[in-house]
Amino acid sequence: MTSNETLSPVIAEFNGVSFRYKGNADVLKDIHFSLAPGSFHFMTGESGAGKTSLLGLLYLDHLPTKGRVRLFGQTVDSLSRSAKAMIRRQIGVVFQDYRLLDHLTAFDNVALPLRLIGEKEAEIRRHVSELLTWVGLEKQMRSYPQELSGGEQQRIAIARAVIHKPALLLADEPTGNVDDAMAKRLLHLFLELNKLGTTVVVATHNMELVKTFKFPQLHLTHGKLDLIPPYSSYTEMASKLLNKGSKNA
Amino acid sequence: MRKKNDFLFTKDKTRFYFPWMCWLLVFIGTFICGGGMLVYNSLSSWQKGVSESLTVQINTYDEEGRDRGDLVGMDIEKALSILRTTPGVIGASVLTEEQMNELMAPWIGADVAINSLPIPKLIDVAVDPENPPFLEQLKMDLSVHVPAATMDSHRIWLAKLIKLSNHILQFIIFILGLLALTISFTVIYTTRSTLKIHESIIKLVHMMGAKDFFITNRYAFYNSKHAFVGSALGTICALPLLWVVILFFQRTSDTVLQTQFSLIQWGILAGIPIIVALLSFITTFKTVLSYLRRFL
């Protein structure tokens, strides 16, 4: 690794990236984009457009079949296993299917990333209790995932993804199982983290959230990526265009 | 409450069976190892007695009871010549009259003229304990060139027994090797089953940034702990039984088997659980590491 690579200001950089699962057609085609530190993006697109695959490339679940992916200034193909693990520690992921561990309580599930990095137990207790209180699950700390509702499980999954204050937060449909009020509350949690410097990518179908929170979109259509400016910008742009048109008329 | 570092494991059946497999294998292993040590001890003591010296007798009277006269002297010379040129023989000398008297005194008294008795002449043969002569060949050479010579036959029988005992010892080592291999395969099978059961957990912690060393270490400690518990129980059960067997042999007055273990041997027997735990640790470590290589 060169010093240039470590000093790179970009969190993620995709250059001509394509990806396919073994024996299948390309799921992602010629993707170019970069994520600046502290940015917030929604990832949108129809089901099957490649959102989960793109997130998988971002959290090093896959390697690109073509093109180059750089994370935290390092080209992922050439990384050692240990270096990959260190990169993964800087990423928080909220999975669509939560992936909570059934044999652990809500508290222990959330504490998992901190235990992996060897945080002190007293600190773990403090941080996890605070966060679970914030997501409204302080009474369910000792409950096991199977004793919790879908929405509660989702909040546990989100708490687990953010507990170690990751540099990059990736969320795959994080609000799919919660009501609108809770969805907004969770998005506010992501916003709080974003204000503290965390780069956030939220894959969602919920256009209401996209409209409310006005962040740019990484929009996927059949594996092709388009960067759409924040909703407000293009609604403003659209209205300006409309105004222009009406004036001209 | 779960231990904070126990998050990689759920309750699974292998957790129950694995220590019991270790128990059984170590129980058998300890017993065989103990038996092997007793054979080895007996072997060593017999070898010491047999390998240091050998006696060749030259008959002074023929089969019809007639004095062989000067022929005895010639036979002694021939026998000495054969013995001294045999590889593995350090020295050979005829026992003097004084030595013979001393040797026979307990049976016939000190003041009997030994030359007047039909007692064979004895040749004391010193052999190299590290490189003993081939006794069968020596016996044959003597019988061809000096028909009146005889070699102590019990020594040949003991040499054969030692050879057999050596084979028994090698067989015991082979069996112990097989047991070690069985334990290794049990560990590999158990580890693979446990990995399969815990695949989702491993994938998750791997994705969260757990290093290979962290996961392999947890598994290796987990398995070696269970292997140690099972093996310690196996040894604890086998040692008293071995003790009973030793007592049985000790009470048999004409036993030829050594019934004492040295302190080092007791240490080895007691150390078997540690050896099994170590074997289990190394095998698990390698198995988990090769499994993790499947992930990016």
Q: Which pLDDT does position B291 carry in this prediction?
A: 92
Chain B residues with CB under 8 Å of A85 CB are: 206, 209-212
CB–CB contact B11 A103 (8 Å): yes
CA angle B255, B258, B263 (to 5 degrees): 155
Buried b (16+ CB within 10 A) or exposed e, A99-112: bbbebbbbbbbbbb
Say which range, A32-41, A204-213, B44-53, B270-279, has the weakest mean pLDDT: B44-53
Mean pLDDT of all residues in B248-261: 69
Q: Which pLDDT does position A245 carry in this prediction?
A: 55
Q: Which pLDDT does position B278 carry in this prediction?
A: 94
What are the tens digits of pLDDT across the range B210-243? 889 989 998 899 889 999 999 999 999 988 888 8
Answer whether residue B48 shows pLDDT above 70.
Answer: no
Q: Which pLDDT does position A6 carry in this prediction?
A: 45
CB–CB contact B209 A85 (8 Å): yes
Chain B residues with CB under 8 Å of A113 CB are: 208-209
Chain B residues with CB under 8 Å of A103 CB are: 2, 7, 10-11
CB–CB contact B208 A112 (8 Å): yes
pLDDT band at B27 (very low <50, low <70, confident <90, very high): very high
Query: Which residue of chain B is at minimal alpha-carbon distance from A118?
Result: B5
Q: Which pLDDT does position B274 carry in this prediction?
A: 93
> Structural domain tally of chain A?
1
Whether A149 is covered by a domain: the verdict is yes
Q: Which pLDDT does position A242 carry in this prediction?
A: 58
Q: What percent of chain B has pLDDT over 90?
A: 14
Answer whether residue B279 shows pLDDT above 90.
Answer: yes
Q: Which of B7, B201, B207 sits opposite A115 (nearest CB)?
A: B7
CB–CB contact A117 B209 (8 Å): yes
Chain B residues with CB under 8 Å of A108 CB are: 2, 4, 7
In the A/B pair of chains, how many CB contacts fall below 8 A?
61
Chain A residues with CB under 8 Å of B209 CB are: 85-91, 113, 116-117
Torsion region of B123: left, alpha or beta (phi above 0 gives left; psi -120 to 50 gives alpha): beta
Q: How far is A71 from chain B (nearest CA, A)?
A: 14
What are the tens digits of pLDDT across the range B116-169? 777 888 888 888 877 878 878 888 888 888 888 888 756 666 667 677 777 877
Best B9, B198, B203, B208 member to test A by mutation, with max A CBs in 10 Å, is B208
Residue A178 contacts residue A151 (beta carbons within 8 Å): yes
Mean pLDDT of all residues in B91-101: 83
Whether A117 is covered by a domain: the verdict is yes
Arithmetic mean of pLDDT over chain B? 82
Q: Which of B2, B208, B211 sits opposite A82 (nearest CB)?
A: B211
Query: Which residue of chain A is at minimal alpha-carbon distance from B215?
Result: A116
pLDDT band at B4 (very low <50, low <70, confident <90, very high): low
Best A81, A99, A168 member to test B by mutation, with max B CBs in 10 Å, is A81
* Rounded distance between C-alpha atoms, residue A173 and residue A179, angstroms: 13
Residue A158 contacts residue A135 (beta carbons within 8 Å): yes
Q: Which pLDDT does position A58 carry in this prediction?
A: 92
Residue A145, domain extent? 99-165
Whether A140 is covered by a domain: the verdict is yes
CB–CB contact B212 A81 (8 Å): yes
Query: Which residue of chain B is at minimal alpha-carbon distance from A90?
Result: B209
User: Residues near A164 by Cβ (< 8 Å), separated by ≥ 6?
Assistant: A89, A92, A113, A114, A117
Whether A184 is covered by a domain: the verdict is no
Whether A69 is covered by a domain: the verdict is no
Whether A156 is covered by a domain: the verdict is yes
Q: Which pLDDT does position A5 carry in this prediction?
A: 43
CB–CB contact B210 A116 (8 Å): yes
Mean pLDDT of all residues in B109-116: 70
CB–CB contact B207 A108 (8 Å): no
Whether A131 is covered by a domain: the verdict is yes
Chain B residues with CB under 8 Å of A115 CB are: 4-5, 7
ipTM over 0.85: no
* Rounded distance between C-alpha atoms, residue A119 and residue B287, angstroms: 28
Identify the residue with better confidence: B41 or B189: B189
Answer whether residue B92 shows pLDDT above 60.
Answer: yes
Whether A152 is covered by a domain: the verdict is yes
CB–CB contact B2 A104 (8 Å): yes
CB–CB contact B205 A112 (8 Å): yes
The tens-digit pLDDT sequence of chain A (249 residues) is 333 344 447 889 999 999 998 888 888 888 898 888 989 999 988 888 888 889 999 999 888 999 999 998 889 888 888 899 999 999 999 888 888 988 889 999 999 999 888 888 898 999 999 889 888 888 888 999 999 887 788 889 888 988 988 899 998 888 776 777 777 877 887 888 888 888 999 998 888 888 888 888 888 888 888 888 776 655 555 565 556 555 554
CB–CB contact A85 B201 (8 Å): no
- State both tokens at B154: 């019990």
Q: Looking at chain A, how many residues does it have?
A: 249
